[in-house]
Amino acid sequence: MSQQLGGQPILILKEGSSRTRGRDAQGMNITAAKAVASAVRTTLGPKGMDKMLVDTIGDVVITNDGVTILKEMDIEHPAAKMMVEIAKTQDDEVGDGTTTAVVISGELLKRAEDLLEQDVHPTVIAQGYRQASEKAKEILNAIAIKVKPSDTEMFKKIAETAMTGKGAEASKDKLCDLVVKAVTMVADEDGIVDKDYIKVEKKVGGSTDDSEIIEGVLIDKERVHPAMPKKVKDAQILLLNAAVEFKKTEVDAEINITSPDQLQAFLDEEERMIKNIVDKIVASGANVLFCQKGIDDIAQHYLAKAGIFATRRVKKSDMEKLVRATGASLVSSIDAISGEELGFAGKVEERKVSGEEMIFVEECKNPKAVSIIIRGGTEHVVDELDRAIEDALRVVGVVYEDMKLVAGGGAPEIELSLRLREYAASVGGRAQLAIEAFASALEIIPRTLAENAGLDPIDMLVELRAAHEKGKKTFGLNVFEGKAEDMLKAGVVEPLRVKTQAIASAAEAAVMILRIDDVIAASRSAAPEGMPPEGMGGMGGMGGMPPGMGDF
């Protein structure tokens, strides 16, 4: 980029910088964003396919989850990175619908490209998209269906919809039960569900049907001493955030010992100090001790003698869950130990799960923290089940908080598409074109569901539109039978927030990409001094990449 001034070129950008302007910049960005959308498009819906991702060190991830795919893909292009951001936001907000959000955004950009070719100004398109996004939110709220907290069947249906297509079909009834039970247990009185209190433990071995819920906490540790009981009934639980060891002095002090009996007295005193700590624990009436810090060898011996089940170095997050599940207080000082600080569990037991010792804290009175063990034949199966359950937990939690849902199977998108077209006619002007483009773009969801199921997308869209024009708002696509049918009756339902968030973030990202008309990229920073010119020895460096690869 240089300006000619009296025959003298003036360089403004650093050498090696590149600049793309106007139509070219928009074209490049839109192409990159569409490429990302098409990468995840085939995973949408119950008949969606999976992706196998292999990272730089050869780790394999097999998944159907939009956000996982995009996070694992090594994406270089700045506009493509914005698409990944949409998926991440959707995941943080709702936990599901990541693929939907990215696919809608890609389609919005594709439709915008057609309008740009017709010389519609990007800001006009952006304004139309914003209006359409606002209107879509209104329409969605109007067609949302309310649920009651007691409607367990509906919650199961929501969990089932979130899990379908993620390899969890074989035992989805069992898994949906676990998910709904877990969410209802940890929900607070005001209806807020903090998913952090549901601990999901993955164990390879057994089958999916062996997955279970523990009404309490599962800790991946073992007791500190083999002489301790393996099982404690009616456990009085002490949670300690202090080390069961003798105190080292804070100040630097030296003790001069001149005779062996003085040394013996010193050691005895150390032992007596530890015995005092253990006596305090015993006196409180505790028979189970979970310690966040260390437990000394001598202390282990005394605790075992007193018949106390003890575990050390328990994670802080597990301690917080134990506080919620057992009702105990977290004691931070040895002197503060007393009977009032104890919590209760029906039983605490060390059991082997797939050959590893784990501690089960079960039969709590009203556990506000629970654990789910996921089992499966191979590591990849368990990982994918874990992702499916995470999505289901988040989605059920969202509905528990909002108490509103919409039908699935592309039903809300078709309804929005029809209503937005009516709205576009009332707006008029050039913005009408953009709102109509937005309406058409939303049809990508039912169209993709049909394509992924091997059905004819045009026939399906026509059938769905016809049903919605007759006022059947909850009609969506039954991909298993290839026909339009009432999704609410079929039990295919999604939280309202999944849709509102997906459409809002897709529209925002599309608008942001559309408004860019100039891409100024700085030159790649030079290799640090002392490195061979061809990058790191034998690695081929950037120089080894084929031309044009650095752009994506």
Which amino acid type is present at position 536?
M
Residues in contact with 274: Cβ distance below 8 Å, sequence separation at least 6, in sequence order: 244, 245, 246, 296, 298, 299, 302
The mean pLDDT of 213-238, rounded to a whole number, is 83
Q: What is the 3-state secondary structure (H, E, C) of 404-422?
A: EEEECCCHHHHHHHHHHHH
Residue with tokens 């752009």, as numbered in its chain: 551
Residues 11-36: pLDDT tens digits?
Answer: 677 777 787 887 888 888 889 889 98
- The answer to whether residue 388 scores a pLDDT higher than 50 is yes
Name the band, by pLDDT with cuts 50, 70 and 90, for residue 119.
confident
Pair 230, 349: CB distance under 8 Å: yes
Pair 470, 414: CB distance under 8 Å: no
Phi, psi dihedrals of residue 332, rounded to the nearest 5°: -105, 0
* CA–CA gap between residue 197 and residue 367 (Å, rounded): 10
Phi, psi dihedrals of residue 372, rounded to the nearest 5°: -120, 130
- The answer to whether residue 468 scores a pLDDT higher than 50 is yes
The mean pLDDT of 361-380, rounded to a whole number, is 80
pLDDT averaged over every residue in the chain = 82
State whether residue 358 is helix, strand or coil: strand
Q: DSSP readout, 230-258? A: SEEEEEEEEEE-S-BSPPPPSS-------
* CA–CA gap between residue 275 and residue 289 (Å, rounded): 15
H/E element, 115: helix 98-117
Pull the structure tokens for residue 85: 């951001």
The mean pLDDT of 512-538, rounded to a whole number, is 66
Residue with tokens 């069992």, as numbered in its chain: 174
* CA–CA gap between residue 541 and residue 552 (Å, rounded): 16
Domains of the chain: residue spans and CATH: 34-146+407-520 (1.10.560.10), 148-215+369-402 (3.30.260.10), 221-366 (3.50.7.10)
* CA–CA gap between residue 370 and residue 192 (Å, rounded): 15
H/E element, 83: helix 78-93
Amino acid 132: pLDDT: 93
Burial classification of residue 14, based on how many CB atoms lie within 10 Å of its CB (0-12 exposed, 13-18 middle, 19 or more buried): exposed
Residue 314: half-sphere exposure toward Cβ, Cα within 13 Å: 28
Amino acid 135: pLDDT: 92
Which amino acid type is present at position 22?
G
Catalytic residues: 65, 98-99, 391
Which amino acid type is present at position 396?
V
Pull the structure tokens for residue 122: 């990007």
* CA–CA gap between residue 301 and residue 460 (Å, rounded): 72
Pull the structure tokens for residue 390: 């995470």
Name the band, by pLDDT with cuts 50, 70 and 90, for residue 549.
very low
Amino acid 443: pLDDT: 92
- Looking at 403-546, list the stretches that DSSP marks H as alpha helix, in order from N- to C-terminal side: 411-427, 431-442, 444-452, 457-469, 487-490, 496-514
More confident residue, 150 or 464: 464
Amino acid 138: pLDDT: 92
- The answer to whether residue 252 scores a pLDDT higher than 80 is no
The mean pLDDT of 462-476, rounded to a whole number, is 90
- The answer to whether residue 253 scores a pLDDT higher than 80 is no
The mean pLDDT of 28-48, rounded to a whole number, is 88
Pair 269, 362: CB distance under 8 Å: no
Amino acid 525: pLDDT: 64
Burial classification of residue 121, based on how many CB atoms lie within 10 Å of its CB (0-12 exposed, 13-18 middle, 19 or more buried): exposed
